[in-house]
Copies of this chain bind each other. A is one copy, B any other.
């Protein structure tokens, strides 16, 4: 029981230095508190900087392609932001210790912070969406994709933007938050579609037979074909001709080349077989007498 009282005396002695009668901190206690607050902040800053540096290092070998110059700049910015936030919190705590009502200051800062966070929400959205694109493996570098009306080969997947290179060589830079519907053209076999439009006067069956022969010839000579090509059938009875569709499955990225080849071969076969293409036709009607 003695220990208890000794302990309580010590506590009392301690308090008599730093607290006044009503138990609040006196000036000495307050000044000491300030020192403690800022030492804690300094230590925290050190720890956070070390953590950031480690994260930067880990990142450099990671999947996301971020060159080291950017990483260093980014880390420096982040450190600065954290420093200012911590100092702001520290000053608020010190003012609070001195009994200054900080409500109005925090309200002012809060409105400013709200304005910034409204402006920054598209940034947050970019990063979250970017994470999910990677996590769900929606596409990888080298895939041919279509995003937001832009098509091309994925060249770089970053934490905030994705870069796509067009066939024209143009580089499209898309913030990840703008990516919603993704069409990936490198997952599984792709289809080649060729439409041939012949005149109504032609014998449809013969035309289909000719086209099918061309298809069979191409099939045996082209390694990138996985299925077909074959005639699908008549897909339109148009104003001046009949539309016949040919379809094939190829390895990704080979579909356009195959389409060009099929077109060339059909054209040649039609020339030989004298099958006429569907030119627009008109009838000059007699005027009513």
Binding site for B on A (CB under 8 A): 4, 7-8, 11, 14-17, 20, 22-24, 26-28, 70, 73-74, 85, 88-89, 92-93, 96, 100-125, 127-129, 132, 135-138, 146, 148, 150, 158, 160-161, 165-175, 177-178, 180-185, 187-191, 193-197, 199-201, 204-205, 232-237, 239-240, 242, 249, 255, 257, 260-261, 263-264, 266-268, 274, 276-288
Contacts and interface: CB of A to CB of B under 8 A. Distances in A.
Contacts of A266: 237
Given A119-B124, A119-B128, A93 B89 contact: no
Please name the 7 residue pairs, one residue from A and one from B, whose CB atoms are nearest each other, closest first: A119-B124, A233-B260, A115-B117, A92-B104, A119-B125, A111-B113, A118-B121
B28 A7 contact: yes
A263 B284 contact: no
B237 A267 contact: yes
B191 A167 contact: yes
Given A103-B106, A178-B180, A237-B195, A200 B282 contact: no
Given A237-B197, A281-B279, A183 B170 contact: yes
A116 B124 CA distance: 6
B93 A104 contact: yes
Contact of A173 (B148, B150, B184): B184
A172 B168 contact: no
Contacts of A11: 20, 26-27
Nearest to A159: B136
B110 A107 contact: yes
A233 B89 contact: no
A165 B52 CA distance: 40
Nearest to A282: B280
A126 to B, nearest CB: 8
A181 B171 contact: no
A101 B158 CA distance: 40
A201 B288 contact: yes
A26 B20 CA distance: 16
Contact of A123 (B128, B150, B185): B128
A260 B88 CA distance: 62
Given A136-B70, A183-B170, A282-B284, A112 B104 contact: no
A114 B111 contact: yes
Nearest to A3: B17
A286 B110 CA distance: 79
A79 to B, nearest CB: 15
